[in-house]
Amino acid sequence: MKQRLLKLWSSNRFRRIVYSLVFGIFIVAIYYFIRLLIPQELFLYNEIVTIVFIVISVLILFPARERILNRLLPRYEYTAFFGFDYHHLEFMARQFSVETLIHEIFPEFMEWLDVRQARLAILEPHRRFYEIYIYRNGRISGTQIQIEKTNALIRFLTYHGRAIELFDESLPDPIRRLLEEQHANSIHPFFYRQWMPGFLVLSEPPRHEFAERALEFFANKAAVSIQNHILTYRMIDSNLYDRELVAAQRVRKTLHQTPIPRLDGFELKRLIEPDAHPAILEFFRVPDGRWFLVTLSTPRFTGAAGIILYSILGNLYSIIHRESNITMHRLM
C-alpha cells in the first residue's frame, strides 16, 4: 500500500490536482470565514462580503499561491501548473547523476516534450547490456528487460551515428520492422566519443517546437552523466581490488616470516621465485619428535585464499596433535 501511494504521489499530474484541490478548499474556507467576520445586519451584506473576498483574493491569496507553489513544486511543474513555458536549457543545464537523470530529468523532459510514453536505456557499469526505464503518463518504472550490445538495432544505431525515425524513407526494412516491434516512433542515441552509453526511445512524435534541439542537448548531457557513472563505479571496484591486494600482501609477508627449523643432517634455505605460484610452507613438530612440512599452493594469491589455506593448515595441525599415532595414509 505504501509503495502504491508513493508511486501515485510521484505522478506530476496527481500532485498538481492535489495542490489545486487544497487551494480550492482553502479559498472556500476564506470566503466563509469572511462571512463570519462581517456582521449580517449590515446593508448590502452579500455584496460587501463578495467585494472583500475579491480584494483579498487578488491582493493576497493568488500572489501567495504562486509564491508557495514556487517553493513546493519543481520548476517544470510550477510552469506547467500556471501555463507558462520555459526553455529546455533551464532544467538540463545543471550537472546531474544517473539517478537524477532517471527519476527527475527524464520525466521532466518527457512532459516538456508532451510525450506520453518513452523508454530510457542506460548501459550498465560492466558494459554488457542496457537497462531499460519506462516513462508512462508521468511515472517512471524500472524493468527487468535487458538489451544486449550485440542486438541488431544497437549495432545499427552505433554505425548510423544519429537518431533514426520510423517514417524515414532511407531506413532499411529490417530496422524499420524492429522499430515497429518496439512500438518506437524514433530512437535517439547518446554518444560519448565512439561508443554509445545509452539511448532514448520515443513512442510518439514530440509536440514541442524546440524538440529537435532539446533532444540533441539531452543526448549529450545524458551521455556524459552515464560515462561519469561508469567511471565512478570502476573506481570503486578498483578500490576493492586494491584493498584485497593489501590484505594478500600482509598475509604473504606473514607467511614468509615462518621460522625454518634446524634439522640434523639437513640445511634448509628460503628461496623466493617471483614467477612461481604463491605457496604456504609450514614446519611443525608433533609430540613424538617427528617433523612435518606442509606445502599449500594456489595459482592466485589473495587475502581470502591465504585465510582458506591457513584454515586447512590449522585443521591438519589439530588432527596431528589430537591423534598421536596417526599414519601418513590417515593424514592424507
- DSSP letter string over 123-179? E-TTSSEEEEEEEETTEEEEEEEEEETT-HHHHHHHHH-S-EETT-TTS-HHHHHHH
Determine whether 147 is exposed, middle or buried from the number of CB atoms within 10 Å of its CB (0-12, 13-18, 19+). middle
Edge-to-edge, what's the strand order for the sheet holding 129-136? 139-148, 129-136, 117-123, 195-202, 186-192, 164-165
Pick the CATH number of 89-234 from 3.40.50.1820, 3.30.43.10, 3.30.450.40, 2.60.40.180: 3.30.450.40
Residue 285 — φ and ψ, nearest 5°? -115, 135
Angle, vertex CA 96, rays to CA 202 and CA 151, nearest 5: 40
Using CA atoms, how far apart are residues 220 and 216, in angstroms rounded to an integer?
6
For the chain, 332 residues long, give each residue's pLDDT as a single digit of tens: 666 666 566 555 666 677 778 777 888 888 888 888 888 888 888 888 888 888 887 777 777 766 766 666 655 554 554 444 444 455 555 667 888 888 888 888 888 888 889 999 998 887 778 888 999 877 787 665 667 655 788 888 888 888 889 888 888 888 888 888 888 999 999 998 778 899 999 999 998 878 888 888 888 888 888 888 888 776 655 555 556 566 656 655 655 555 677 777 777 776 666 566 666 677 777 667 777 777 766 666 555 666 666 667 666 766 766 665 666 555 55
Burial environment of residue 318 by CB neighbours within 10 A (0 to 12, 13 to 18, 19 or more):
exposed
Q: Torsion over CA of 218, 221, 224 and 226, rounded to 10 degrees? A: -50
Instruction: Read off the pTM.
Output: 0.49
pLDDT of residue 276: 61
What is residue 159's predicted lDDT score, i.e. its pLDDT? 83
Residue-level pLDDT at 137:
79
Taking the C-alpha atoms of residue 317 and residue 315, their distance in angstroms, rounded to an integer, is: 5
Torsion of CA 102, 107, 109, 110, to 10 degrees: 120
pLDDT score for 279: 65
**pLDDT value of position 77:** 54
Q: How many CB atoms lie within 10 A of CB 78?
A: 17
How do the domains of the chain map onto residue ranges? 2-81, 89-234, 258-331
**What is the spatial distance between Cα 22 and Cα 61, in angstroms, rounded to a whole number?**
13
Distance, in Å, from the CA atom of 175 to the CA atom of 160, rounded to the nearest integer, reads 11
Question: Contact at 8 Å (CB) between 301 and 252?
Answer: yes
Q: What is the pLDDT of residue 195?
A: 83
Q: What is the pLDDT of residue 187?
A: 93
The grid coordinates of residue 118 equal 518513452
Q: Which three cell numbers stand for residue 206?
A: 514530440
**pLDDT attached to residue 39:** 84
Give the Cα separation of 22 and 43 in Å (integer): 33
Say what angle helices 2-10 and 12-37 make with each other, to 10 degrees. Answer: 80
Residue 133 — φ and ψ, nearest 5°?
A: -125, 130
C-alpha cell at 224: 556524459
Of 204, 172, 165, 205, the C-alpha closest to 188 is 165
